[in-house]
Structure 1
Amino acid sequence: MTAPQCSAAWTRDLLEHGYCIIPDLLPPEALSSIESDLDPVFDQTPCSHGYFYGYRTKRFGSLLRRSPHAAQLVLEPTILAIVRQVLSPACDRIQLNVAQAIEIHPGEIEQFPHCDHDMWPGIKGHHEYLVNVMWPLTEFTPDNGATRIYPGTHRRKIETLDDLPQPVVAQCQPGSAICFLGSTVHGAGANRSQGIRRGIVVGYSLGWLKPYENQWLAYPPEIARTFPDELAELAGYALHRPNLGNYEGQCPSNLLKGNPVGHPQATDALRPDQEEAVEQFAQRHWCAK
C-alpha cells in the first residue's frame, strides 16, 4: 500500500477531530539517532525567555543541518501525503514551516493554549494554513509535559479559554507522530516529573506564506545544495506560482547548481489561467501593431 493510500484514513481523522496520533510510524532507533546528534546542542542552548516559549524550556531550529537524520522526519512519506491532501487545495506546493527541537524541564508550567495559524493575519476558516507534526524523542506522558490538544477547536470559534473543551493528552512513545492542524488549539503540558521531555516539531505550511523559521538563513545555498531535490524544495528553493520566491526572476533552485548564471534571464512562472490570459492579451496587442 502506498503512502497516499494508507494516509487517507489518518487525513480523515485529522480533518474531523483536528488532530491524530499515528503510532509506530518510524522505528524508535531513528529518533534515538537524531537525539544523539542533538544532545550537544541541547546542552549548549539556554532556556527560552518569555511565558509563551517557557522559562524552563529549550528551543532551537535548523535541524536539517544539525542532524543528517532529521531529513527522515521531514520527508516521511505518509506525513507528506497527509499534508498535501490537507493543504494542496489552497496552494501549488507546500513548504517547510519549521523544524524545531524542544526540551521541557521539570517545573515548567503549562503553555498558553493557542493555534499556530494565528501567526499570520487574515481571515481564517476557508482553508488550512499549516499542519504540524510533533515527534517525541522521549516518552510523552501526562506528567512530563506531553502536548495537550483540544479536539474540535478547528471548527469552533474560541473567544476565551473558558470556551475550550477538555484537552486530550498526546501520550505516546518515540516513533509515533502527533499531527494537528494549524487551526487546532493546543499547548505543551506542565512538566511535573523529575525528568526532561524532548520532542521535535516539524511544520508544513502553504507555499505562498512567509514561514515561521527563516529557511534561507537556516539553510543557505552551501547547505541546501547537499539536500535531495525534494528536501531543498521544501526548504524554500522552489518557486510558487505566480513568480513567488524568485531569485533574479528565476527559480532559486538555480543557486544550488554548479555555476549559477551571473546575469540570469527573468522567466515567467505563472498559473495556467494566468499564462492564457497574458498570452491572449499580448497577442491582441502584437496584432494591433
Structure 2
Amino acid sequence: MTGPREAHWLDQLQEDGYCIIPQLVAEQQIAALDADLEGAFAQAPLGKGDFYGHRTKRFGSLLRRSQVAGDLVLQPLVLSLARAILGSACDRIQLNVAQAIAIHPGEIEQFPHCDQDMWAGRKGDHEYLLNVIWPLTEFTRLNGATRIYPGTHRKPVDNLESLDDPIVAVCKPGDAICFLGSTVHGAGPNQTEDVRRGVVIGYSLGWLKPYENLWLAYPPAVAKEFSPELAELAGYVQHRPNLGNFEGQCPSVLLSDKVPEFPQATDSLRPDQKEAVREFAKTRRGGR
C-alpha cells in the first residue's frame, strides 16, 4: 500500500517515465558524500569510449567509499518507489549500480539511450530498472545536466530523429532525479569551466545480472560491515527459488563470524512452490 506522498511520485514515474523530487535529503548529507568521494574523483582517470565519454570520470563501489552512499541506497521513499515499480516482476529487488560521475568541461552530449537495453530480455511486460541520480553539484543547462525524454518509456524509439525535445533536469544537491530503465535519457554537454558531479544509484529486478558486479565491489569482508538490509540489496540474499545461493544456502552465511566448510543445502522457495513440493513429497513418502 502506498501513502499519498509516494503515490504522487509513483504516478509521475508511470505517466512520464521520470520525476524530480526536490530536497529529498539535506544538502549537508550530499556535501558529506561529495567530501568522502573527493579523493576518488581526483584519482579516477577520464573515461575511454564515445558512450562513457572522453571528458567524464566514472567509478563505482560507492558503498565502501562512503557511509553516506549506503544511506542514500536505503532512502525510504526511493526504496518504496523502486519496490512499487519493480516488485510485480520479482521476489525482491537488488542494487544495480552505485556509481559516481564527473562531467568535465568540454564533454559532449551523451548518446540518448535507455538503460534496460543492457539486458536482452523481452521489453514492455514490466520494468527492469529504476535509476536515481543524486546531484553533488548544481545541475544546469550548461554544465551537463541530465536530459530526459518524457514518454519514451511507453513507445519504442526507432531512431534519434523521432525523439521529441528533452527536459533538462536542472536541480540542486538534495534533489533526486528518478527515471525508469525504459526512459530514454543522456548526460548533456558541459559548456562551462566547472565540473558537474553526481552519483547514480540504480535498483533492478532481483533475478537479473546487475550492471555492477556486486560481489567483487563488496566482498564478504566489506559487506559484513553493512546493515542486514544493505547487505541484502548488495547481493547477500537469495532470490526465491534458490537463485544466487552459496553451497545451497543464503550467501549471507558468508557474513557470519564462522563459515561452515560444508553448509547445509536448504530450500528457499516461494510459498506456492513450497506447498506444491511438500504435497508431492507427501504422496511419494506415503507410497513407499
TM-score by length of 2: 0.98
On the 8 A contact 1:237/1:252 being kept in 2, the answer is yes
- Name the counterpart of 1:257: 256
Q: Deviations for 1:29-83, whole angstroms, at most 9, x for unmatched residues?
A: 1111011111111111100100000000000000010112111111111100111
Give the CA RMSD over aligned residues. 1.1
Note the C-alpha offset of 1:5: 4.5
- Name the counterpart of 1:281: 280
Q: For 1:213 and 1:257, how far apart are their aligned partners in 2?
A: 24
Note the C-alpha offset of 1:17: 0.3
Q: For 1:264 and 1:106, how far apart are their aligned partners in 2?
A: 53
Letter of the 2:101 counterpart: I
Letter of the 2:84 counterpart: Q
Q: For 1:170 and 1:11, how far apart are their aligned partners in 2?
A: 18
- Name the counterpart of 1:232: 231
Letter of the 2:124 counterpart: G
The reply on whether 1:15 has 2:21 as its aligned counterpart is no
SS at match of 2:40: helix
Q: For 1:3 and 1:195, how far apart are their aligned partners in 2?
A: 40
List structure 1 runs of 4+ shifted beyond 6 angstroms: none
Q: For 1:68 and 1:283, how far apart are their aligned partners in 2?
A: 49
Moved more, 7-16 or 182-191: 7-16
Q: For 1:232 and 1:28, how far apart are their aligned partners in 2?
A: 26
SS at match of 1:154: coil
- Name the counterpart of 2:96: 97
On the 8 A contact 1:4/1:78 being kept in 2, the answer is no
Note the C-alpha offset of 1:252: 0.6
Structure 1 unaligned regions, length at least 5:
none
Q: What is the percent sequence identity of the aligned residues?
A: 63
TM-score by length of 1: 0.98
SS at match of 1:95: strand
On the 8 A contact 1:153/1:185 being kept in 2, the answer is yes
On the 8 A contact 1:4/1:82 being kept in 2, the answer is no
SS at match of 2:237: coil
On the 8 A contact 1:243/1:269 being kept in 2, the answer is yes
On the 8 A contact 1:151/1:168 being kept in 2, the answer is yes
Letter of the 2:52 counterpart: Y
Total equivalences in the alignment: 288
Letter of the 1:218 counterpart: A
SS at match of 1:162: helix
Letter of the 1:156 counterpart: K
- Name the counterpart of 2:118: 119
SS at match of 1:135: strand
Structure 2 unaligned regions, length at least 5:
none
Moved more, 173-182 or 68-77: 68-77
Q: For 1:259 and 1:55, how far apart are their aligned partners in 2?
A: 45
The reply on whether 1:213 has 2:212 as its aligned counterpart is yes
- Name the counterpart of 1:137: 136
Q: For 1:80 and 1:235, how far apart are their aligned partners in 2?
A: 14
Note the C-alpha offset of 1:102: 0.1
- Name the counterpart of 1:108: 107
- Name the counterpart of 1:35: 34
SS at match of 1:25: coil
SS at match of 2:67: coil
Note the C-alpha offset of 1:241: 0.2
Q: For 1:166 and 1:272, how far apart are their aligned partners in 2?
A: 47
| Closer/same/farther in 2, CA of residues 249 and 237 from structure 1, 3 Å limit | same
- Name the counterpart of 1:6: 5
On the 8 A contact 1:3/1:77 being kept in 2, the answer is no
Note the C-alpha offset of 1:3: 8.4
